[in-house]
Chains A and B, each alone.
With several copies, the nearest count.
Chain A
Amino acid sequence: MQIDYLIEAPVRLTARLRVEGFTVLLGASGAGKTTLLKALAGLLPATGTPYAQLAPQERPIGYLPQGCALFPHLSVWRNVAFGLRGRRRARRARALELLERVALGALADRAPQTLSGGQMQRVALARALVRNPALLLLDEPTNALDRATRAHVIGELRALIDQFGIPALVATHDTYLAALADSVAVLADGRVAQQGPPDEVFDRPATRAIAQLIGFENVVRADLVERAARLPESLKSPLDAGAAGRELGIAIRAHDLQLMRNGAAIEGAIALSATIKETRREGLATRIFLDGPMALEALSPSPCGDRGWQIGERVRVAVAPDRMRLVAWDG
């Protein structure tokens, strides 16, 4: 399904994207993900295709709002069955079926106020699914769920999507969810800045904003790197092209930066010198903040103790050329 929307308020957005199967909408906090989903649901004024001329109740969509927004005066199953017509018995049966799929069959008769955050979210998901819509709009459907529950819920969701062929547009910050997607669209600077399969987007972010969003801790201006280190030819020529037009940056994930004691020689990699500013334990790994020609962040896979990095120590930082990504610096 091709989506082409223009939204004026509260933020100006030009959203042009394809929703195919399970499509994830990534974007920084405040980028406008919720705004776009609401506009698609008909709850904010917007122009475009599809549906823009339809009243919200005529749009064949299922919408899960960010705050869940369960009906406080209806029990859990009635919340789910709200969108259904017909006899109570049939509606309840259908609601219970969906509740089972989100592992909440036992809570069908509870009041929504008595649910935990994650339970509410699952009820809201079941409610959005109940009418077999032609497009699912899910705003952060799993952010209140623990890993095991999330895996279960996503499995059920995928099964539903595949079974009925319903495309879903899912706004999320959850990179786990993004990795599962058929397609990832990134919202930045008021437009869909990149869309593609997750491996492509995660591997080749188009802009600095996208790179930061998907977890490239280091994005530095290309000219800074150029001055500080030898660059391989594969990077040089696009950089020169960039010099003619817009500015470029180089994005590197923290765990792709290798740290070495000063003086050690490295082959086939770009290297520069830096000082260790701070180290921070991170589960089984250690995050190391570096100062030098540019601020950098490295992630050493072993706990700190193993290598004994000292704060203030001068080190060589190296990165394999194929771990560097060229991105547009602005928008």
Chain B
Amino acid sequence: MRRGALLIGMRRGALNLGAIGALSFLVLPFAFFAWATPWGRLHAVAGDFDAVRVSVVYTLAALALIVIGGTPLAYWMARREFRGKTVCEGLVLLPLLTPPLAMGLLLALLYGPHSMVGATAARLGLELTNTPTAFVLAQVYAAAPYYVIAARAAFESVDPELEQIALTLGKTPWQVFRLVTAPLARLGLAVGLAMAWVRALGEFGIVLVIAYFPQGIPVKLWVNLQDLGLDAIYPLLWIFFLVALPLPLLLGIVSRSYVMRTETV
């Protein structure tokens, strides 16, 4: 156990209390929701499972793209010093900052059928509106900045000396990244991935604008509400939790269990 100052040096009551209070506050709506759910007459609405499939499959695809593109960007931002780095940081924050609806509109303007990008893509057979590609695009914009920012902080906290030592042991930079940097940054990377996953899965505003179809869970929730009323969202929301939570939890467990079981004290 690696115990810090607050746990060694003070009676733990205050910290525990504060922490558990804050946690309860965050969890309260879900507890209430569990309590209010009419478990007896819970049944999925037609199309709910399609929505689950759409969400999971395309979010995984988006996640893959995010990791592939975001990892080099994050590493680069962590290790390179150059003028205008602050500007870069601001730029990465932009998509995070933009309210989803506005982000959706921006994407619609850029990737829509008559825009330059959209028209070119369409000519190549890649429709960027109301298609799986558009859906994935929306999710990438929604989630990538979370991953990049978390991964960048994680990379920054890896001691460059360890990477250097690994080089002197004859590993190529790519092996060093795989064997040293990534494992040491795994906690932050896992956090980033988990955030990206939940953001992408839960994304509503952007998707609503540029990919009303295929309908993933968030849009389906919206449709169910309009169509059938509040009762129809209970089951889908529970299914959503069931589907979405395992990945982040697994990421958390794996990234932590990978830590060598260290100090026994």
Contacts and interface: CB of A to CB of B under 8 A. Distances in A.
Given A9-B264, A10-B264, A82 B169 contact: yes
Q: Which of B164, B166, B263 has the largest count of A CB atoms less than 10 A from its CB?
A: B164
B261 interface: yes
Interface residues of B, number: 29
A244 B166 CA distance: 53
Interface stretch (A54-62, A151-159, A295-303, A306-314): A54-62
Contacts of A56: 8-9, 164, 167-168
Contacts of B229: none
B170 A44 contact: no
Interface in B173-210: 173, 176, 179-180, 183-184
Contact of B264 (A55, A114, A131): A114
A270 interface: no
Given A57-B9, A71-B180, A114-B264, A63 B168 contact: yes
A45 interface: yes
Nearest to B265: A9
A65 B171 contact: no
B262 A55 contact: no
Contacts of B264: 9-10, 114
A42 B168 contact: yes
A238 interface: no
B258 interface: yes
A43 B10 contact: no
B186 to A, nearest CB: 8
Interface stretch (A72-80, A184-192, A272-280, A319-327): A72-80
A228 interface: no
A41 interface: yes
Interface in A45-101: 45, 55-57, 59, 61-63, 65, 67, 69, 71-75, 82-83
Given A72-B184, A111-B260, A55 B168 contact: no
B165 interface: yes
B161 interface: yes
A113 interface: yes
Interface in B212-265: 258-265
Given A69-B165, A72-B184, A131 B9 contact: no
B172 interface: yes
A127 interface: yes
A59 to B, nearest CB: 7
A63 B165 contact: yes
Contact of B260 (A44, A45, A75): A75
B90 to A, nearest CB: 24
Contacts of B260: 72-75, 111-113
Contacts of B262: 111, 113-114
A69 B9 contact: no
Contacts of A61: 168
B162 interface: yes
B38 to A, nearest CB: 48
Given A69-B161, A71-B180, A73-B258, A114 B263 contact: yes
A57 B167 contact: yes
18 contacts: A43-B8, A43-B167, A43-B168, A56-B164, A57-B9, A57-B170, A57-B171, A57-B172, A69-B161, A69-B165, A71-B162, A71-B166, A72-B162, A73-B184, A74-B260, A82-B171, A83-B170, A83-B171
Interface of A: 9-10, 41-45, 55-57, 59, 61-63, 65, 67, 69, 71-75, 82-83, 111-114, 127, 130-131
